Amino acid sequence: MDLKNIHSLSRFQRHTREHLARLKETGEPEVLTVHGQAEVVIQSVESYQRLLDLARNAAAIVGVQRGLMGMYAGTGEDAENAFVSLEEELGISPDTP
């Protein structure tokens, strides 16, 4: 986090357009302080969406890694049972096209 990206809430309120333009231009978040203490982080919608996408991708990678570890350890579930479990969990029929 760049120290230039730390601002007081009152400065943000006085110069909102300037902050919003910088957030959109740089994609970097800003920390807003109240009485000198960090209170909130603000960021553009685009950078927030990228953060969410990265978190989802990381969670998917962890899930795949766990599955592979289970498979190598012999504790995994075979594909047929896995699909049956998924169908039950999602409430779909195996005959559904």
pTM metric for this prediction:
0.65
Beta partners for residue 31, in sequence order: 6, 41
Q: What is the pLDDT of residue 97?
A: 61
pLDDT of residue 1: 64
Which CATH number applies to 3-43? 3.40.1620
Residue 40 CA to residue 19 CA, distance in Å, equals: 14
Predicted confidence (pLDDT) per residue in 4-56, tens digit: 799 999 999 999 999 999 999 999 999 999 999 999 999 999 999 999 999 99
**25 class by beta-carbon count within 10 Å (0-12 exposed, 13-18 middle, 19+ buried):** exposed
How is 52-83 classified by DSSP, letter by letter?
HHHHHHHHHHHHHHHHHHHHHHT-S--HHHHH
For residue range 55-96, list pLDDT tens digits in order: 999 999 998 998 889 888 988 778 888 888 888 888 888 776
